Amino acid sequence: MTRLFAGTPFDRPPTCERCGQLESACACQPVVAEKTLIPPEKQTATLRVEKRAKGKLVTVVRGLPAAGNDLPALLTRLKSHCGAGGTLVEEALEIQGDHLTRIKTLLSSLGYRVK
C-alpha cells in the first residue's frame, strides 16, 4: 500500500533543528524571543490634527517605532483616555476627533517627548 505523502517531509516525524533528535526526545531549551521596549524618555512623538474625507478631524501620533513599542496597547490607552475610536495605520496612531491637548498631556505624563 502506498501512502499519499510517502518519501516527503510529511512522512517523517518532526526533528529538532538544533540537535537533530526527534522533537519528542529533544532536550533543547525553547528559544524565547524577548521583545525589548525602548524607554519612553528616549522617544519623540509627533502630534498633528489632520482632516479626512467629509471634513472629519483625526489626531495622528507619529514617530514611535513599532519595533520598540507596544503600539496596540498604547492605542487602546489613548482611545479610552479620549473617549473616541481610533486605528493603527502602519506606524501611525489615529484617534477620531480633535484631541491634541488630551493626547499631549497623556503622552507627556507617560514620559514621551512630544512635538
Q: What pTM was computed for the model?
A: 0.70
Domains and CATH numbers, the chain: 40-114 (3.30.780.10)
Paired with 44 in beta bridges are 113
Length of the chain: 115
Rounded CA separation 35/24 (Å): 28
Q: Per 3-state DSSP, what percentage of the chain is helix, strand, and coil (rounded to 5)?
A: 25, 25, 50
SS3 for 22-34, per residue?
ECCCCCCCCCCCC
Element (H, E) at 58: strand 57-62
List, for residues 35-71, the tens digit of each pLDDT value. 788 999 999 999 999 999 999 999 999 999 998 899 9
pLDDT tens string 18-29: 888 888 888 888
